[in-house]
Amino acid sequence: MKHILITGSTDGIGKLLALRLAKEGHFIAIHGRSETKLAATIKEIKEQSNNENIQGFLADFSDLNAVKKMAKEVAEKMPIIDVLVNNAGVLMANGKSTSTDIRFLVNYFAPYVLTKGLLSNIKASAAPRIVNLSSAAQTSINIQALGGKTGLGANEAYAQSKLALTMWSFYLAEQEPSITVVAVNPGSLLNTKMANEAYGQHWSPAEKGVDILYDLSMTDLAQTGKYFDNDKGFYSDAHPHAYNPLKIKGLIDVTDTLLSI
């Protein structure tokens, strides 16, 4: 039995992955930002999987203080984390205005903060893994936008946040050689709430994303410090900046500076 934490798992591929793993008898921790939805999802997964080892954690990932609080709660309740799937993400946002774009907060800063807070628990596993959900959409990062000094359109901010996540994944893989860290594009325009809300269409069933997340979480497909592109069905090259040590160092330095404010 593995102890697995999946963020953003009250909907979409995160929820489907949680259910699949719960049916195999693993201890599953799910995360959501709505208390009602979280409770309903826990109940649903317990009933459908016949597995009582389901726990829920509540946090709005656009609030980094809430993320830090959740990290402390998880650390106390899950002494060992075998697999962390940083699945929570946002493309379209309604009505919430902060100095830093919500896509940077949810898609990059939140998993960065959460993972940092759980590193000792992850390293307590005999074979720890971190699966970070990237995207085929990756574009060079505007450091001014990262710090909330200038605004971006939704798609641009999303693509920049996903490159930041990928660059950090590669950095983390080097810093923590005992942890398998893999970045993955689970598939473009899967049949999920996020894609349908943003584009009103989908190209592939959600199960395509669930299958690759399962394989990277549970099988020997996972290779640390690499990017799996599920549109292609194999490991591929991420954006060139993900392989540029100076760009990566610049990103991490700015990130740590911003998070210490």
| pTM to 2 decimal places | 0.93
- As a whole number of angstroms, the distance between CA 208 and CA 215 comes to 11
Task: Determine the angle formed by the axes of helices 154-175 and 245-259, rounding to 10 degrees.
Answer: 100
Domain count, the chain: 1
Q: What is the pLDDT of residue 237?
A: 98
Q: What is the mean pLDDT of each run of 10 residues along the chain (261 residues)?
A: 97 94 98 97 98 98 97 98 96 64 96 98 98 95 94 92 98 98 82 49 64 97 97 96 98 96 60
- pLDDT, residue 196, reads 47
| pLDDT confidence of residue 92 | 73
What are the structure tokens assigned to 83, written together? 């697999």
Q: Which pLDDT belongs to residue 91?
A: 82
Side by side, the strands of the sheet bearing 27-32 are 54-58, 27-32, 3-6, 83-86, 129-133, 180-185, 226-229, 234-236
Over the stretch 97-119, which tens digit does the pLDDT of each residue have?
Answer: 556 899 999 999 999 999 999 99
What pLDDT score does 188 carry? 64
Structural domain boundaries, residue 128: 3-259
What is the predicted pLDDT for the residue at 90? 86
What's 162's domain CATH number?
Answer: 3.40.50.720
